[in-house]
């Protein structure tokens, strides 16, 4: 009897698991760096771990193809420029550039994420609150293809 996957279980490779860990630590360090008044060392570590983790998860070739598509060059410039600015030592300016670039890069995924979150019991209720629903509807209606 072979070892099979259980229902709902997804087979992942070792590099994907490493990438998920690196990406998670990267997000943690970025968040922690912002909480500690934009600590440039933590933000730099977070940036490096996030980009390295993304490369491990989807592969180097697909990472380069994602970032360097002709219609995403502006977004890539802002995101990677923000990473460089943080590494140089201007963390607040760098984070602002990164957030703008991140929004431009991943705006095609936002409608999918909003649709998913709306189906989660407690979070879906929060997204339907009066002040939040208008903003979420605006973000969720983006029709830009990835």
Q: What is the pLDDT of residues 87-121, one digit of tens each?
A: 898 999 999 999 999 999 988 888 888 888 888 88
pLDDT at 1 (0 to 100): 47
Question: What sign does the dihedral 48-50-53-57 (CA atoms) show?
Answer: negative
E strand or H helix at 46: helix 40-58
pLDDT at 91 (0 to 100): 93
Q: Rg of the Cα trace of the chain?
A: 18
> What is the distance of C-alpha 135 from the center of its chain?
20
Does 107 or 143 have the greater pLDDT score? Answer: 107
- How does residue 7 score in pLDDT terms, banded at 50, 70 and 90? low
Residues 146 and 108 sit within 8 Å (Cβ to Cβ)? yes
User: What does the block give as tokens for 141?
Assistant: 């209606």
Extended strands (E) in the chain: none
Per residue in 14-24, pLDDT (tens digit) is 888 999 999 99
Distance from C-alpha of 80 to C-alpha of 50, rounded to nearest angstrom: 12
CA nearest neighbour of 139 among 107, 116, 100: 107
- How does residue 123 score in pLDDT terms, banded at 50, 70 and 90? confident
Tell me the whole-structure pTM to 2 decimals.
0.74
Out of 2-11, 112-121, 122-131, least confident range: 2-11
Q: Is the pLDDT of residue 33 over 70?
A: yes
Residues 83 and 51 sit within 8 Å (Cβ to Cβ)? yes
């Amino acid at each position: 009897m072979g070892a099979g996957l259980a229902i709902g279980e997804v087979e992942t490779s070792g590099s994907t698991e490493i990438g998920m860990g690196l990406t998670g630590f990267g997000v943690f360090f970025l968040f922690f760096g912002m909480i500690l008044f934009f600590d440039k060392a933590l933000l730099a570590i977070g940036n490096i771990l996030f980009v390295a983790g993304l490369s491990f998860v989807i592969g180097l070739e697909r990472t380069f193809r994602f970032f360097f598509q002709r219609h995403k060059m502006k977004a890539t410039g802002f995101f990677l420029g923000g990473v460089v600015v943080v590494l140089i030592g201007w963390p607040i300016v760098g984070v602002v550039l990164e957030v703008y670039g991140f929004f431009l890069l991943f705006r095609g995924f936002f409608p999918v994420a909003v649709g998913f979150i709306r189906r989660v019991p407690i979070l879906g209720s929060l997204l339907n609150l009066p002040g939040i629903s208008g903003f979420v509807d605006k973000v969720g209606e983006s029709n830009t293809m990835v």
